[in-house]
Amino acid sequence: MGRRGRCPIRPLSGAAENQLSSITERLALVWERGGFPVAVIDAKYKALRPAAYPHADLYQMLAYCTVLGLGLGRLVYAAGEEQANRHAIRGTNTTIETWILDLSKPIPDLLADVEGLGVSIVATSSSQTASGASA
């Protein structure tokens, strides 16, 4: 993926940006295929969760997934308080994965972890249809 300089994931733009125009936060990445979003990823670099809103990131990602019509969203955190996990959101068909990147690793190891995340995104997104529903 990254070794050849080609990455199918790019910053939010086009149709996905229009769909999210009413959400004030800007998310990190949306991957579109044929003009339709097939993956959403939001990167977080923070050490603490606010005590009053411990699941704010999950709610934010749920909003992104809902607006984009996606059943899977990914939150990527720098190593710290968060743990890698899968959250099946009750009452929805949405799952949110949390991924952890250890930024203290040597660059080649960190890049390998990022590539692993990319491979996972491509693999799971290949089953998305143009409408965003799983095939």
| Each residue's pLDDT expressed in tens, for the chain with a length of 135 residues | 333 444 444 445 555 555 555 554 555 688 888 888 999 999 887 755 666 667 888 999 999 999 899 999 999 998 887 788 999 999 999 999 999 999 999 999 999 999 999 999 888 876 654 444 443
pTM of the predicted model as reported, rounded to 2 decimal places: 0.71
CA angle 13, 1, 60 (to 5 degrees): 40
